[in-house]
Every structure is written in structure tokens, then in C-alpha cells.
Amino acid sequence: MDKINFYNLISAIAISIDIGESSRMMEENVVESTTNLNYAKHKFTNHTKRVCYVSTEIGKIISNDKEFLKDLYVSSALHDIGISSNITDAHTEPDFIKLHCTKGSEFCLRLNFGESISTIIKYHHENYDGTSVFNIKGNDIPLISQIIRLADIFELLYDESVPNYLQRNSINKWILENKYTIFNSDIVDVYMDLQSHDRFWWDVENVGYIDNVLKNIRPEENLMMDMKGLKSISEVLADIIDSKSNFTYRHSSNLAEIISKIANYLNFDENKKTRFIVSALLHDIGKMGVPNSILNKNGKLNPTEITIMKSHTYYTRIILSQIEGIEDITNWASNHHEKLDGSGYPIGLKGKDLSLEERILAVCDIYEALSSKRPYKKALSKDEIFNIMNPMVTNGKICGQSLDILKEVI
């Protein structure tokens, strides 16, 4: 398949955001001043899914305009994409809120999702009475931003460890008490009508476990994207991934440049070359789920930290498997830490299970990492790197043919 479903891509990005938000909030103590909600105490595993569901259900009552519902679906799915970056300048709650909104807005422009979605995401934390970080109020706030604001807070109030029927009243009470201040009263009225039906609450409870809940709210149009479009988006996602740590800055982009040279050397056709490059750009997308304290540790990792770091390949497969039609890319990207003798991770595949592309990506990933400076080591020269990698071939860890190909193009 040379084209992918755009909404499958949005789902994959949304899952990466939730994985990233869950790991980040383990380390943050963010209490939003205008709501007094403590983000650190919330479980974010299904945050984006639930916000997307609540937002879209409210939106379908307000309007049946296809463009409106598309923008609502996409922006609610991506509303926290700014959290994915390493917001090192955010030292207080207002800084954190403002920076993640601004970063998210900028990312959406770079992803070429349009000015409208970028603006919606920038203002999704604004209060109706103008008391939030950008101090705009009322209908100066985009309508979709207002809808996401209510859905976002609903999800922060929702406790996955408690049955929905034991928390309905408390959530509704909180929302009604903040009618006219945090929320647009008309949107609150729509929400109150929506939540009066039991199906809403059972969907909210099961959104993370029953695929049809989200599939049923997707826009009806079948938007498709070609490999060139996926590559452009992957280049931005690679920057987001690598920006999580100062020590891996440009790692994915550098790896993609090496892979591009190898694809040319092996005379891959344009489609296969593009797919191979995309796999390099996205091979570390699972690092969204690795806490920044581990990615930025100024020294070697301890055994527990190593185990957590290894999880990134597992999450890479989880994220990319949402996109039907890129199964080859998913395998190439997810298996870059497997070894020919079965000692790699996360599956422990052996040489007979690994394609040439997977072997090449594994070899090139090692090379790029060794050629870059890390907190615990200097950047190594080519000779130093190959002195390390040659014995890995002899010991049955990596593919000799792949290493020879790399030597030819470097």
C-alpha cells in the first residue's frame, strides 16, 4: 500500500502523546492555578482518547459541518502535542501551560496541519472569563478551543480507578460550578444534555479498551496520505522525538541521512527508499514513553533505568502499528535493537527472523550513537567506531554484510 489513512496517523500520534504525557507527569508537580487540578496525580494513559471522544460528541451536537468536525477531531487528538518536547524553560505552572500550548501550536504549523488547528491548540487552556495564560476571553477564544477546554478538564476530573457511576455527580457538580467562568455556558448546557445518556458514560469508561468507541467518532471522509506526505510529517516528529533530550538532538535525522545514502547505494526504488527513511526517522518514537530524567541522565544508567530505556522499542511498535499499510516500516523501526544471536530486545529475534533492512538499521543506529557525544562518552572517530563494531560481527551480534555496506557509503 502506497497510501495511508490520515486518521490512522493522527491516532498513532495521539497514542505517542499519551505515552509521553504519562512519563512526563511522573516527574512533574503541575497544579493549574485557575482550576486547582493537580496533573501529577492523574493517570494519562487514555487522556487524549477520552478528550477526543468528549470533544467530538459535544461538537456533533453543536454542528454537523464536516470541516468543523474534522478540525475538532484532529485538534482534540493533538491538543497536548506540545508536552512531547523537552520544556526545560517551564519552571512554574503558568510557564508550563503557556509553553506547551505554544509549542503545540508551532508543531502543528510545522506538520502542515493548518493555521486553524494551530490556533485552536494554542488557546485550548483559555478560560471563558479571560483568567488563563493568554488572557483572552469569551468568543475571542476559538469555539473548538472552548470545547476542548471542557473535555480536557472533564478528563482530568475523571478517575479511571473508580466506576463511572460513582463519579458522575461530582464531575457534573464541578463543571456546573464553573459555568460562566472557566466554561462557556452554552457548551456546558450541551455537555449536560450529552452526559444525561448512559451510553456517554460507558463510552468514557471503555474508550481505552474498546476500539469501536473511537472509530465511531472519526470523520466520515476517508482522507489518504502518500509516502511523501508521511515522510514530511516524520521529519517533524523526528525533531520532536530528539528534542526530548539534549544528548540525542538530531539522532533520528542523522540516522535518516545515512539510511538515504544506503538506499541509493542498494538501488532501492523511490517508494522503498522513502519507506526506509521513514523507519529511521520514527525508530525512536517510543522514547516518548521514557522519562526525561533517564534520557538526560549525566552518566551511565543503572539496571532499572536500562530496563525502562529498553521499553522504547516496544512502544515504537505499539505506536506505528496503528497505521495500516506500513507494516514493513513498523518492523524495520521496532527491531533496531535486535541482535543476530537473539540477545537483543524487546522480542529476542534471531538472524533468521531479521530482514536486511532491519539488520542495516540496527548497524547504522549503533554507528550514529557512537559518532555522537553523550554525557558519559566523547564522539568517536570512524576508526574507533569500527574497532568496536567489527568484533560485534565476529561475536554474532550484528550483520557483517550490513556493516560492509555502511563502510562503503560513509
Q: What is the pLDDT of residue 119?
A: 98
Q: List, in order, residues 6 or more apart from 56 with CB less than 8 Å away.
A: 69, 72, 73, 76, 217
Residues 6+ apart with CB under 8 A from 267: none
SS (H, E, C) the chain: CCEEEHHHHHHHHHHHHHHHHHHHHCCCCCEECCCCEEHHHCCCCCHHHHHHHHHHHHHHHHCCCHHHHHHHHHHHHCCCHHHHCCCCCCCCHHHHHHHHHHHHHHHHHHCCCCHHHHHHHHCCCCCCCCCCCCCCCHHHCCHHHHHHHHHHHHHHHCCCCCCHHHCHHHHHHHHHHCECCCECHHHHHHHHHHHCCHHHHHHHHHCCCCHHHHHCCCCCCCCEEEHHHHHHHHHHHHHHHHCCCCCCCCHHHHHHHHHHHHHHHCCCCHHHHHHHHHHHHHCCHHHHHCCHHHHCCCCCCCHHHHHHHHHHHHHHHHHHCCCCCCHHHHHHHHCCCCCCECCCCCCCCEHHHCCHHHHHHHHHHHHHHHCCCECCECCCCHHHHHHHHHHHHHCCCCCHHHHHHHHHHC
Q: Does domain 3-215 sit in CATH 3.30.460.10?
A: no
Type of residue at 215: K
Contact status, residue 251 vs residue 369, Cβ threshold 8 Å: yes
Q: Could you give the C-alpha distances from 294 to 87, 229, 276, 306, 309, in angstroms and in order?
A: 15, 32, 28, 9, 7
Instruction: Tell me if 376 sits within 8 A of 402, measured CB to CB.
Output: no
pLDDT tens per residue across span 152-196: 999 999 999 999 999 999 999 999 999 999 999 999 999 999 999
Chain-wide mean pLDDT for the chain?
Answer: 92
**Does residue 26 carry a pLDDT above 80?**
no
My answer on whether omega of the bond before 94 falls inside 30° of 0, hence cis, is no
Which pLDDT score, from 0 to 100, does residue 1 have?
54
* CB contact at 8 A, 271 and 3: no
Q: Which pLDDT band, with edges at 50, 70 and 90, does 30 fall under? A: low
pLDDT at 41: 67
Is 147 or 209 the better-scoring residue by pLDDT? 147
Backbone angles phi, psi at 32, to 5 degrees: -70, 125
Q: What is the pLDDT of residue 276?
A: 98
Distance CA 30, CA 402 (A): 47
Counted residue by residue, the chain has a size of 410
Q: pLDDT band at residue 29, thresholds of 50, 70 and 90?
A: low
Q: 332 — phi, psi (to 5°)?
A: -60, -45
Give the pLDDT confidence score for residue 25 in this predicted structure. 56
* Residue 91 pLDDT greater than 80, yes or no: no
Distance CA 2, CA 216 (A): 25
Q: What percent of the chain has pLDDT over 70?
A: 93
Rounded Cα–Cα distance for residues 377 and 233 (Å): 32
The pLDDT tens digits of the residues spanning 363-373 come to 999 999 999 88
Residue 233 has pLDDT above 60, yes or no: yes
Q: What is the mean pLDDT of residues 385-393?
A: 98
**Is the pLDDT confidence value at 42 over 80?**
no
| Per-residue pLDDT reduced to its tens digit, 287-327 | 999 988 898 888 889 999 999 999 999 999 999 999 999 99
Cβ atoms of 48 and 79 closer than 8 Å: yes
* 95-104, 168-177, 351-360, 396-405: the lowest-pLDDT one: 95-104
Q: What is the mean pLDDT of residues 265-271?
A: 97
| Confidence class for position 89, pLDDT limits 50, 70, 90 | very low
- At residue 88, the pLDDT reads 47
Instruction: Determine the average pLDDT of the residues in 104-117.
Output: 95
Longest dimension (CA), the chain: 70
> Could you give the residue range(s) of every CATH 1.10.3210.10 domain in the chain?
3-215, 225-409
Mean pLDDT comparison of 37-51, 89-103, 122-136, highest-scoring range: 122-136
What is the C-alpha radius of gyration for the chain, rounded to an integer number of angstroms? 23
What is the pLDDT at residue 251? Answer: 93
Q: What is the pLDDT of residue 24?
A: 61
Strand partners, 341: 350
The stretch 97-125 carries a mean pLDDT of 95
Distance in angstroms (rounded) separating the CA atoms of residues 84 and 20: 6
Report whether CATH 1.10.3210.10 matches the domain 225-409.
Answer: yes
pLDDT of residue 133: 93
